[in-house]
Amino acid sequence: MSVDAANEGILDAELVEGGELVPVAPAAGLPLVDQHTVLMPGEAIPTTGDPRTTYTDRDLYISEETAQAIREADAEGSPQRRTAMRLFEAWCAEQGRVAKPCTTATYTEYGRHLMAKGLKASTIRHYMSLVRTSMPVGKKPDNSLYLALLAQYRRKNKRALRRKEAFPLTLSYLVPMMEKAEADGRPIGWRDAAMFAFGYRFLGRSAEDVGLDLEDVTILDDRVLVWLAEDKTHKGEEQTIPLHDRPDLNLVFRLRRWVGYLEQQGVTTGPLFREVLRSGKVATPETRATKGGGATKRGNYLRPQTVNDRVKLWFTAAGLKSDGRPVSSHGLRAGGATDLGASGATDEELWEAGRWRRAHPSPVSGMYARPRTPTGDVFQRVPVHDPTVAAEE
């Protein structure tokens, strides 16, 4: 009889003196589940008789320094992430489920809950991403089942595919907004005008604009150089981006005036765009303390929502009207892209100027005919805004 035949049917054994294999009773079945396990109704819990890997304290614990860094990173989470987690935790409490760390089953069920509310697919994806990234390191739920449900939801729900783009703040809207902001000569108006001109020309996302430091910007006579350590589509890839000035934007003048005001306040490092108090002073930890204010999660950096609020404020103050699309800070990015598209910029030029992914649909796809040959400074295509001509129209 062969050795294999002799041992057939032996589940476990140990070698004793004489070289004989003595069967050993299998270990009691242990549940083979973790937070990623999803069971269908009536499905038995899987078990295993195999010994588990044994870990020591060294494998499981992190140092106090690492723990403190993680706590600080959690504290700096975005307002959107905190909102998403607050809603998720409230739903979990109603359902009697653990919110953090959540199981894959809970995560999948919450995704279906959002779909049942008829939300846009992009909104659902955004909220689910925020919830998943809020989970502890190494305990993020698997999202493959939720994504399969979302794909089905998109196919069956027309409302899930609707898109409501921001109203583009083209030069005909942007110039009156900046002039209105500057009309009374207050420093906060100087900041807002500089911020709007920069946002339009930089084609940046609000989070990128307010995340810049003074050290990241070099103001020359005819352009502004912006250094980026990375952006959403260029992870780990630093860039130096030249922003050529224009007579209608007056970016160099407006940015110099704002930076000069910061220097008068003794501010030469740190956030480029920051809060201005009612007194006209630039907000610092010291000025907040004298006013009885405490520290904020973003410190001296403006929140992206603040840019949004200021855009709406000056759009209304300038007596402007949209076509029904929402007015927001994203309109600065959309306005620059729209002006470029109307002036014949190629898709390649738009992708490059706004740092969009090459696979991203053109920001103004199908709206304008475009030449094939790109130019050096893409914004040279856009005619200089003449308010007298706009008034006659």
CB within 8 Å of 35: residues ≥ 6 apart: 101, 102, 103, 104, 139, 141
86-121 confidence digits (pLDDT tens): 999 999 999 999 999 999 999 999 999 999 988 888
Residue partners of 172: CB distance under 8 A and separation at least 6 = 385, 390
Neighbours of 313 (CB within 10 A): 14
Judged by average pLDDT, the poorest of 103-112, 193-202, 326-335, 372-381 is: 372-381
CATH, range 69-161: 1.10.150.130
- Which tens digits make up the pLDDT trace of 277-286? 888 888 876 6
The first and second tokens of residue 14, run together, are: 């140990």
pLDDT in tens, 210-252: 989 999 999 999 999 999 887 666 666 778 889 999 999 999 9
Q: Are 168 and 311 in contact (CB under 8 A)?
A: no
* Domain boundaries along the sequence of the chain: 69-161, 171-392
CATH class of 171-392: mainly alpha
Nearest-angstrom CA–CA distance, 107 and 112? 9
Over the stretch 260-311, which tens digit does the pLDDT of each residue have? 999 998 999 999 999 988 888 888 766 554 554 444 556 688 888 899 999 9
CA distance 113 to 96: 15
Do 84 and 102 contact (CB within 8 A), yes or no?
A: no
